[in-house]
């Protein structure tokens, strides 16, 4: 018999997910309870067993199969699911890409910022799509998030790091808000992985595939995770085997600048960790700011650099974020064209050699990463890479559960 929720009706599937999410782990922001694995690839899903009370009749009755399972992920710790959740909400759209990679695109209800949710790559994968018109944005006016929106969405699970929501003051969310959502709607499970510059993030980080495996455990689709990971591992190995020697690879200055005629830039440190830079690390690009004393963009340092400062560094290449809505040709005909006409920017080696590129998304998941790895491999090393570097048909089959 289903557990009661205090009324006369048995629990629904939604209630199974909701109440299961609050069974273990103490408070919402408990430490990484039980998460003692040394690597991101360790499997931490466990099944709980329950023993029913002996029947009070002489007739032997069958014991209902316990379908509950627990996923452990910092910072929340243990999250128990009585049944597999269907619908989900994310903040970082990299987690949306993970869900899509597991064949859950139709069940995505919301992302944090739709302006940073890119899906163009899905057009190259047969049978893989997401209807963006049906996806809600969590951010409201002045970047605040209305906690009532979580109730309206009614997601089975929130693939969101609650510490991210609490430590960004402009969201205007309190711990009590998230506790109520967890109790009344569905659990939170997630880890801020796109960057590693937040002082409050004192708990374990996960790599892209470490987090992806956790999401696969949540949705019980480990086979699709393994199929996508196999393509990733083979593609990265093939690309790295063909790269030139480290001292023959260019360095790169990773920046952020909006507008098509930028005069000032927020610098990132390419050497820093976080899933947003994975493709650059896979390609062995070095950080042009190494040894310069210039710090990167973070929550605490939002300093800018201009073309004069860039000229002192004179990087081999420049990556400019904030332009993923443009095509490669549109970026070349606006941002790069402006730089070529600028008195100082035109003296930069990267500008003169045409090595100024769009910098890629801030949030990315496993599908996006494969396309971005291919994109930047062919941009930086056109004499070694061209065309498709991985099979679209194989990736489609992996996502659709046909691999």
Q: Which residues contact 146 (CB under 8 A, 6 or more apart)?
A: 140
pLDDT at site 232: 98
Instruction: Tell which residue, 121, 125, 84, has the closest CA to residue 217.
Output: 84
The whole-angstrom separation of Cα 153 and Cα 148 is 9
Count of CB atoms within 10 A of residue 294's CB?
18
pLDDT at site 296: 60
What DSSP string runs through 254-284? EEE--SSS--EEEE--TTS-SGGGHHHHHTT
262 within 8 A of 320, measured Cβ to Cβ: yes
Can you give the pLDDT of all 403 residues of the chain as single tens digits?
A: 333 333 333 344 455 444 444 332 334 543 333 333 333 333 333 333 333 333 433 445 556 678 899 999 999 999 999 999 999 999 999 999 999 999 999 999 999 999 999 999 999 999 999 999 999 999 999 999 999 999 999 999 999 999 999 999 999 999 999 999 999 999 999 999 999 999 999 999 999 999 999 999 999 999 999 999 999 999 999 999 999 999 999 999 999 998 999 999 999 999 999 999 999 999 999 999 998 877 665 444 457 899 999 999 999 999 999 999 999 999 999 999 999 999 999 999 999 999 999 999 999 999 999 999 999 999 999 999 999 999 999 999 999 999 8
Cα angle 197, 318, 115 (rounded to 5 degrees) comes to 60
Domains of the chain listed by start with CATH number: 244-399 (3.40.50.1980)
Structure token digits, residue 295? 């710090």
pLDDT at site 107: 98
pLDDT at site 56: 39
What DSSP string runs through 37-106? -SSTT----B-----PPPPSSSS--PPPP---EEEEETTTEEEEESS----EEESSHHHHHHHHHTT-GG
The whole-angstrom separation of Cα 44 and Cα 129 is 30
pTM: 0.84
**Alpha-helix residue ranges (DSSP H) falling in 129-203:** 148-153, 162-167, 175-184
Write out pLDDT tens, residues 76-88.
999 999 999 999 9
Instruction: Tell which residue, 337, 262, 343, has the closest CA to residue 304.
Output: 262
Helix and strand totals (H; E) in the chain: 14, 12
pLDDT at site 49: 33
Give the β-pairing of 108-111 and 136-137: parallel
pLDDT at site 21: 41
Q: Is the peptide bond before 171 cis (omega within 30 degrees of 0)?
A: no
212 within 8 A of 97, measured Cβ to Cβ: no
pLDDT at site 291: 84
The whole-angstrom separation of Cα 211 and Cα 38 is 14
pLDDT at site 329: 96
Write out pLDDT tens, residues 39-93.
333 333 333 333 333 343 344 555 667 889 999 999 999 999 999 999 999 999 9
- Measured in whole angstroms, the distance separating CA 366 from the mean position of its chain's CA atoms is 8
What DSSP string runs through 367-392? HHHHHHHHHHHHHH-TTT--S-SS-H
Which residue in this structure is represented by tokens 């009585």? 82
pLDDT at site 19: 43
pLDDT at site 62: 58
155 within 8 A of 168, measured Cβ to Cβ: no
The whole-angstrom separation of Cα 20 and Cα 37 is 23
**Is 319 strand, coil or helix?**
strand
For residue 123, report the phi and psi dihedrals to the nearest 5 degrees: -65, -20
Structure token digits, residue 151? 């109730």
Structure token digits, residue 146? 């209305």
For the chain, give the number of residues.
403
pLDDT at site 292: 83
């Amino acid at each position: 018999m289903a557990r009661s929720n205090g009324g006369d009706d048995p629990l629904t599937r939604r209630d199974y997910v909701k109440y299961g999410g609050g069974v273990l782990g103490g408070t919402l922001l408990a430490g990484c309870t039980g998460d003692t694995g040394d690597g991101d690839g360790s499997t931490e899903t466990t099944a709980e067993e329950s023993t029913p009370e002996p029947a009070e009749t002489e007739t032997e009755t069958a014991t209902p199969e316990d379908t509950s399972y627990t996923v452990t992920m910092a910072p929340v710790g243990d999250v128990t699911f009585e049944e597999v959740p269907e619908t989900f909400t994310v903040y970082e759209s990299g987690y949306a890409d993970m869900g899509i990679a597991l064949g859950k695109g139709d069940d995505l209800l919301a992302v944090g910022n739709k302006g940073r949710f890119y899906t163009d790559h899905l057009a190259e994968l047969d049978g893989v799509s997401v209807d963006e018109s049906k996806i809600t944005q969590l951010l409201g006016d002045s970047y605040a998030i209305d906690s009532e929106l979580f109730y309206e969405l009614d997601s089975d699970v929130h693939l969101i790091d609650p510490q991210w929501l609490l430590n960004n003051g402009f969201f205007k969310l309190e711990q009590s808000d998230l506790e109520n959502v967890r109790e009344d709607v569905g659990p939170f499970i997630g880890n801020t992985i796109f960057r590693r510059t937040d002082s409050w993030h004192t708990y374990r980080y996960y790599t892209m595939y470490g987090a992806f495996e956790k999401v696969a455990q949540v949705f019980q689709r480990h086979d699709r995770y393994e199929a996508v990971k196999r393509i990733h591992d083979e593609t990265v190995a093939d690309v790295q085997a063909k790269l030139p020697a480290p001292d023959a690879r260019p360095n790169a200055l990773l920046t952020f600048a909006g507008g098509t005629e930028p005069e000032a830039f927020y610098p990132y440190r390419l050497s820093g960790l976080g899933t947003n830079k994975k493709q650059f690390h896979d390609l062995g690009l070095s950080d042009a700011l190494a040894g310069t004393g210039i710090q990167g963009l973070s929550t605490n340092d939002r300093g800018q650099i201009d073309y004069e400062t860039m000229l002192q560094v004179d990087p081999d290449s420049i990556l400019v974020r904030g332009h993923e809505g443009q095509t490669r040709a549109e970026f070349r005909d606006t941002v790069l064209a402006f730089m070529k006409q600028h008195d100082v920017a035109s003296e930069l080696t990267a500008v003169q050699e045409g090595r100024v590129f769009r910098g890629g998304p801030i949030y990315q998941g496993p599908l996006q990463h494969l396309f971005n790895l291919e994109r930047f491999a062919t941009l930086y090393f056109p004499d070694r890479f061209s065309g498709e570097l991985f099979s679209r048909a194989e990736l489609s089959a992996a996502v659709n559960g046909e691999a």
